[in-house]
Structure 1
Amino acid sequence: MSVPEPFGARLRRAMDERGPLCVGIDPHASLLTDWGLNDDIAGLERFSRTVVEALADRVAVLKPQSAFFERFGSRGVAVLEKSVEEARAAGALVVMDAKRGDIGSTMAAYAEAFLSKGAPLFSDALTVSPYLGYGSLKPAVDLARESGAGLFVLALTSNPEGREVQHAVRAEETGGRNVGATVLAHLAAENAGEAPLGSFGAVVGATLGDLSSYDLEINGPLLAPGIGAQGATPADLPGVFGAAVRQVVPNVSRGVLRHGPDVAALRASAERFAAEIGAAVTAA
């Protein structure tokens, strides 16, 4: 039985060949309206198909937000399955943004849904929440290793509410390390010895400013939301991520998607962001 190529290796190659840009597939009701589509299954299907057609053969990563498909029930999930299949067939890596987090057999079932080879929603990587304790993610970590998939673990997120958990310092910790830094340390341990890049990444907001007090060099990717509509720019990346900037996967959603439904306009927007990101990383 052949061992699957790890997600980290596949991601590093895609980033080197296509640039590191990740574009979200986020069919908000308001975006469907802006595209002249109805907020229904037909609109959802048209939106998703258009984004995949425009971008899957040229960007490194597409990141569908599962919630915007789930709200339509089983028919929405069917559209999500098709979008994942078609995006991967066109060469994009798919990060499923589902932010799952639970314990024991329930966490194992979530992992099977998204990380098990042959599952209808099998994705190259999955976003997960460690806030039931990092060890609760073990079923997902184990299955990701087995299937050649990856995880992006919430560490230092861009939403202001995240600070009350992620910046909290455990009483028994020495040296003042907070919860977000503890998550990063766990990921560094998961990725130890992996080359060219580990498969277990962190979600770290691009809007957070100078993060030099954190050890972001986890030998794994850093998924960085916040560019575009949330206010961060590609030029901000070196100042936020420092020496780890080459491992950053900058995520842009509305900044690209607002140019739809025109395929050429979507492509042009993604190309502009990719060029700006490439220039910022090269200059760092």
Structure 2
Amino acid sequence: MLNFADVLIDESIKKRSALVVGLDPDLSYFPDFLLQDVQLTSNESVGEAIYAFNKIVIDAVADHVIAVKPQLAYYEVYGSHGIRALERTISYARTKSLIVINDAKRGDIDSTSAAYARAFLSDSSLSGDMVTVNPFLGSDGYLPFVDAAREHNKGIFLLLKTSNPSSHELQDLKLDTGEKLYFKLADDIKPLAEKTKGKHNYSFIGAVVGATYPEEAKLIRQKLPHSIFLVPGFGAQGGKAEDLGVFFDKNGNGALISSSRGIIYCYRNGREDWKSVSEAEMRRQIEETTVKANEEINHVRLKSLPII
């Protein structure tokens, strides 16, 4: 049976990339050419602008990344038209043979989690290939996602040690055993991952571990040798390329590095006239920034990856 971890790793080897680009459309960062026909009071026209923006980004990065990661809040805020833009974005990304990771961070009681899992991991118009899951309601909140991912040959990333500065306020709390909360969660994930390994020795049950916490990542990797890490925080949030080596195994596998603002809004860097950037220039700069990011990441992986 297909294990989605193998799909990720095979695609990473084929493209010589472990880079994921986040699709976080913020209209305040859009060039003027995308906003010419947009009425900010009309969610329909906003949805069209979001889809047009995402198409440019996808076209620019498709040859250099293995996945795109829509952050759902940026779509949900515009109601049904925002969701329609998300659906169209997912469909378009698939025409470019890109994996889609819905950054939804869903999690609830068992029956509601099962409904969320059907929405994001079955064959609905919102379904991608993977989804981020909040496990802090306990196992009856995340096990429905595990079951759905297994049934539909897809994957999940459970939040573990996130990249935001305040993550320590809860995730680093010490239990009576002296163990930190995120370590206890890693202990819970470990047997599930061990039972669901594919040919590359990884599970479709991954974990979110922020690029801003490389020392913690070393310890988490010891506990979760069979979970692929989704690593946000590289670039704009302060995660450095030289710190990424600890997220990968000795074969250069086991992690996906995510960058959003640092890539999709790179045309704003160091220029006051960025609002007037053309579509062609926007695409060129995004592609060049993506290539550079991929090179930086690959520098800390094996320089000669196997070919399949």
Pair in the same fold by TM > 0.5: yes
1:108 corresponds in structure 2 to: 114
**What does residue 13 of structure 1 align with?**
10
Look up the match of 2:90. Answer: 84
C-alpha RMSD of matched pairs (Å): 2.1
How much has 1:20 moved relative to structure 2?
Answer: 0.4
- Residues 11-160 of structure 1 aligned to structure 2 (within 5 Å): 11-18=8-15, 19-32=17-30, 37=35, 38=38, 40-116=46-122, 118-160=123-165
Q: Which runs of 5+ in 2 are unaligned?
A: 41-45, 268-278, 304-308
Equivalent residue runs for 1:177-188 within 5 Å: 177-188=179-190
- Describe the superposition over 1:206-230 as per-residue Cα deviations: whole angstroms up to 9, x where unpaired: 1114123433543121011111111
Distance between the aligned counterparts of 2:70 and 2:141, measured in 1?
Answer: 24
Distance (whole Å) between structure 2 residues aligned to residue 192 and residue 123 of structure 1: 24
37-46 or 144-153: which moved more? Answer: 37-46
Q: Deviation per CA, 1:178-203: give whole Å up to 9, x if none.
A: 21112222332222151312111111
Bigger shift: 84-93 or 31-40? Answer: 31-40
Distance 1:96 1:34, change over 3 A: farther
The match for 1:231 among 238, 253, 274 is 238
Partners in 2 of 1:216 and 1:264 — Cα distance? 41
Off by >4 Å, runs of 4+ in structure 1: 33-36, 242-245
Aligned to 1:169: 174
Paired with 2:32 and 2:69, the residues of 1 have a C-alpha distance of 20
1:242 deviates by 6.8
* TM-score between both structures, scaled by the size of structure 1: 0.90
1:189 correspondence with 2:186: no
Deviations 1:118-177 (A, max 9, x none): 211111100010111134211111010000111111100111222122111222x4xx32
Aligned equivalent of 1:265: 285
Match of 1:203 in 2: 208
The 1:34–1:157 alpha-carbon spacing in structure 2 relative to 1, beyond 3 Å, is farther
The separation in 1 between residues aligned to 2:78 and 2:7, in whole angstroms, is 32
Which amino acid is the alignment partner of residue 205 of structure 1? G
Q: Name the amino acid aligned to 1:27.
A: P
How many angstroms does 1:6 deviate by? 2.0
Please give the alpha-carbon distance, in whole angstroms, between the structure 2 residues aligned to 1:14 and 1:209.
Answer: 25
Cα pair 2:263 2:290 within 8 Å, conserved = yes
- Please give the secondary structure, in 2, of the residue aligned with 1:268: helix
Greater Rg over alpha carbons, structure: 2
Question: Residues 213 and 9 of structure 1: is their aligned pair in 2 closer, same or farther, counting only changes over 3 Å?
Answer: closer
